[in-house]
Amino acid sequence: MTTVLEVLGQVFLLAGAMVFILAAVGLITLFDPYTRASAVATAAGIGVGFVVVGVVLLDPSVSNAVKAVLAIALQLVTSAIGGMAIARGAVLTGHDFEPGTDASELHDLHDPGDEPDAR
């Protein structure tokens, strides 16, 4: 059973590494900050999940499993929030979208700090 867990752990670690490599390639090849942010946020969530599961399979214990669940949950939440914050910052600073992107819902988006004071 230990050998099976070790093999599965190594497979998960390699899968996580491959996700990170694909995200790095995406950062180089994708054209606008929105798709780049999406690639990084997705890789952060999935890649870290694979790596953490792989580590738990290599050193299985209840305490490690609890730590892994907590780490994966926090990573999924923070990577999603970080990706949305980066994309929103790009929209608010006026970065162009890749040609063919439908941004019609964003034409009214503005920074609340630009509103005049209501006195």
Nearest to 75 by CA among 8, 5, 16: 16
In this prediction, residue 115 carries a pLDDT of 52
Split at pLDDT 50, 70, 90, the class of 98 is: confident
Split at pLDDT 50, 70, 90, the class of 31 is: confident
Rounded to two decimals, the pTM is 0.73
- Which sequence spans correspond to the domains of the chain? 2-95
| Token pair belonging to 87 | 């994309």
Helix (H, G, I), strand (E, B) or coil at 59: coil
pLDDT digits (tens, 9 = 90+) for 35-89: 888 888 888 889 999 999 999 999 999 999 999 999 999 988 888 888 888 888 8
Answer whether 21's CB lies under 8 Å from 43's CB: no
Spatial CB neighbours of 24, under 8 Å, sequence gap ≥ 6: none
